[in-house]
Amino acid sequence: MGKDYYKEYVPYGITHAEYQKTWASYCANRDLESRNRLILWNQRLLRFTIAFYMSGIPKEVPYEDLLGYGQIGLIEALERYDPQMDTEFSTYAVLKIRSYIDDGICQSMGISRRLYYRLRQEEGIREQFKNTLGREPTDEEIAFHAGISLEMFRAYRRKAIAVMQGASLTDTAYRIGIPESTLTHKEMIRELKTLVGRLSGEEKALLQHVIGQGDSIRKASRETGISRYRAGRIYKAAIANLRKQMDKKGLSPGD
């Protein structure tokens, strides 16, 4: 490993000679002790990669999950890296870390990589418009900058919404106190979907923001144009109403 990499990522107190010696031992013997040391000493690279890569990652994904996915990628990089490769370990490891983060997020969200990349691309375009023009882009502008047709963009959007709505139903069930053992029953999901469909437009919008996207009441009120006071009351009333209706159908926490 070069001294530039060593200075940037290796923890203070580990000499360059010790770092090189550990790498040489691991490459020659693949011993567990050297492997564990290298994993520990490259945690800074892992966290730097996650911090740099977080822009565009769905905010519903906890940092701890990203760290777990990335850790697997780092270990995979260590086990597969060959010093004879025409690339630095940091370059190789970053690619592995990012790949495992992508795979982990797609698996946890139940979406394909293609859809996930489109969601990230859309989020990046939105951020660019906010930073440069101070406004949200239109669907036409997103499609243009993404290099796809408007029809294709809207098809991806519909699919993403369908996925998120499915996740939101499970989260909503959890919020209103339905036991986890009940969440596997299709009948419960069907009933809850029907009840959510009967809510007002404001109630649906707030549930989508607070439960589906993990927003605070303050942010949800800003996004929906509802005052913070009314948003709080509407959200609490909607949750209470759903809990009451599910209780009537024999799906209360006590069942």
Q: Report the CATH number at residue 25.
A: 1.20.120.1810
- The answer to whether position 233 is within a domain reads yes
- The answer to whether position 136 is within a domain reads no
- The answer to whether position 134 is within a domain reads no
Same domain for 214 and 160? Answer: yes
Burial label for 97, CB within 10 Å (0-12, 13-18, 19+), is buried
Residue after which a domain boundary falls, among 80, 109, 138: 109
- The answer to whether position 16 is within a domain reads yes
Same domain for 102 and 157? Answer: no
Same domain for 89 and 158? Answer: no
Same domain for 27 and 104? Answer: yes
Distances in Å between the Cα of 111 and the Cα atoms of 15, 34, 60, 189, 228 are: 44, 37, 14, 20, 33
Count of structural domains, the chain: 2
Residues 6+ apart with CB under 8 A from 119: 58, 111, 156, 160
State the CB neighbour count (10 A cutoff) for residue 141: 14
Residue after which a domain boundary falls, among 51, 79, 109: 109
Same domain for 99 and 155? Answer: no
Fill in the amino acid letter for 52: F
Same domain for 155 and 105? Answer: no
- The answer to whether position 53 is within a domain reads yes
- The answer to whether position 200 is within a domain reads yes
User: In 213-238, which positions are buried (b, 16+ CB within 10 angstroms) versus exposed (e)?
Assistant: bebebeebbeebebeeeebbebbeeb
Same domain for 86 and 180? Answer: no
The pLDDT, as a whole number, for residue 2 is 47
As a whole number of Å, the end-to-end CA separation of the chain is: 60
The pLDDT, as a whole number, for residue 164 is 53
Same domain for 80 and 170? Answer: no
The pLDDT, as a whole number, for residue 59 is 66
Same domain for 227 and 159? Answer: yes
User: What whole-number distance in Å separates Cα of residue 189 and Cα of residue 173?
Assistant: 8
The pLDDT, as a whole number, for residue 185 is 46
User: What whole-number distance in Å separates Cα of residue 159 and Cα of residue 153?
Assistant: 10
User: In 65-94, which positions are buried (b, 16+ CB within 10 angstroms) versus exposed (e)?
Assistant: ebeebbbbbbbebbeebeeeeeeebbebbb
Same domain for 153 and 230? Answer: yes
User: What whole-number distance in Å separates Cα of residue 237 and Cα of residue 231?
Assistant: 10
Domain containing 24 equals 3-109
Burial label for 197, CB within 10 Å (0-12, 13-18, 19+), is exposed
- The answer to whether position 227 is within a domain reads yes
Same domain for 13 and 105? Answer: yes
Residue after which a domain boundary falls, among 60, 88, 109: 109
The pLDDT, as a whole number, for residue 74 is 93
User: What whole-number distance in Å separates Cα of residue 205 and Cα of residue 239?
Assistant: 13
Q: Do 212 and 223 contact (CB within 8 A), yes or no?
A: no
- The answer to whether position 253 is within a domain reads no
pLDDT tens for the chain, residues 1 to 255: 545 554 555 665 678 788 888 888 998 898 989 999 899 889 989 998 988 877 667 666 778 888 899 999 999 999 998 888 778 888 899 999 999 998 888 877 667 777 777 777 777 788 888 888 888 888 888 888 888 888 887 777 766 655 555 545 555 555 555 554 544 445 555 666 677 777 788 887 777 777 666 667 777 788 788 887 788 888 788 877 777 777 776 654 444
Q: What's the full length of the chain, in residues?
A: 255
